[in-house]
């Protein structure tokens, strides 16, 4: 019986951790990653655009 109680507490703790990771932490991570990707794309795209544009004219 004691082992069952211990496993139940462990599963509750695991569920809390998963809820935390899946909830606010995931949102924060997604925001940082998408922000980083967008910034990286802009840093590459803007000079590339001007370079190609200067070649045309």
Helices (H), 1-57: 2-20, 26-56
- Residue 51 falls within a domain, yes or no? yes
- Residue 45 falls within a domain, yes or no? yes
DSSP class of 57: -
- Residue 35 falls within a domain, yes or no? yes
Query: Does pLDDT of 1 surpass 60?
Result: no
pLDDT digits (tens, 9 = 90+) for 5-44: 566 666 777 777 767 667 777 778 788 888 888 889 899 9
Q: What is the pTM of this model?
A: 0.47
- Residue 15 falls within a domain, yes or no? no
Count of structural domains within the chain: 1
Distance from C-alpha of 16 to C-alpha of 18, rounded to nearest angstrom: 5
- Residue 20 falls within a domain, yes or no? no
Q: What torsion, rounded to 10 degrees, do the Cα atoms 47, 50, 52, 54 define?
A: -140
- The beta-carbon contacts of 33-41 under 8 Å, at least 24 apart in sequence, are none
Residue 49 lies in domain? 25-57
């Amino acid at each position: 019986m004691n082992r069952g109680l211990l496993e139940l507490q462990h599963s509750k703790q695991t569920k809390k951790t998963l809820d935390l990771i899946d909830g606010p932490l995931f949102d924060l991570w997604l925001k940082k990653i998408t922000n980083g990707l967008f910034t990286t794309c802009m840093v590459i795209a803007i000079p590339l655009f001007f370079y190609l544009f200067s070649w045309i004219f």
